[in-house]
Amino acid sequence: MKVLITGATGQLGRALITTAPPEAELVPVSAEQCDLTDSDAISRMVGDVEPGLIINAAAYTAVDQAESDEETARRVNADAVAALVAAHSGKLVHVSTDFVFGGDSSRAYRPDDTRSPLSVYGRTKAAGEDHLRDTDLLVRTSWLYAAGGMNFVRTMLRLMTEKDEVRVVADQIGAPTWAAGLAKTIWGLVNAEATGTFHHSDTGVASWYDFAVAIQEEARAIGLLGKSVPIIPVSTQDYPTAARRPAFSLLDSSKTRTLLDDGHTHWRMNLWHMLRAEKELG
């Protein structure tokens, strides 16, 4: 089957390529190859490729920048999804975010829970979800990271090298997700011919502070960091940002795990794998 992958040079796009089943004929497309703010360009691309399946791994993910650039965020996160749906009669796999939720739940968010996004990023991603058909597949994830990408893990590694201390928010709760694990789940759902909405994040719960502490501990253990620095927990109020973020955005992935019957991997184990891959990159 011919599979068109948008966002092919991003964290998830690269992971989808490296974990793809051998029978998949991949057509990876980067933002440079197709401008996702241009609906006509999207239509031409799909017409030229004629894929059996599209996996939309592209997104405008600059959460704070989106607050002052809503038009671009909406074009990429919502309008591009509409254009992909209009141009393609087959299944679209679309990846979304925990930021479509408001953060006021007392339990992990289930796929059918009511969305109430707090930011432009969250609202535009929710709008993109609304363009999907019943025959499409929506996969929400959280706190995505991969070796070599632009993400929290690599930012922490840089700051822990440059700074004498690092201050990290401790009252936003969710779960990190290794891109390779998400990619394997997406291919598993495709193989299972799943439709509708599913969640995937690594098992376990963390604050950003917890995640930062683990990053330093694991990186020091393998020699990726040469020193340890104090990590100071702070509140969201003490660390203001342009975009509001949900205080609690843990995703309930039990539906996904039950369908795929593939067990659970704790986020710290996947962090271990990622940091070793990061060390190999030099």
Cβ-count burial of 183 within 10 angstroms (0-12 exposed, 13-18 middle, 19+ buried)? buried
Question: How many residues in the chain?
Answer: 282
For residues 197 and 188, the answer to whether their CB atoms sit within 8 Å is no
What end-to-end distance do the CA atoms of the chain give, in Å?
36
Q: How far apart are alpha carbons 106 and 111 in whole angstroms?
A: 15
Catalytic residue at 121?
Answer: yes
Instruction: Rounding to the nearest 10 degrees, give the CA dihedral for residues 80, 84, 86, 90.
Output: -160
The whole-angstrom separation of Cα 204 and Cα 94 is 24
Catalytic residue among 60, 109, 121, 209: 121
List active site positions.
121
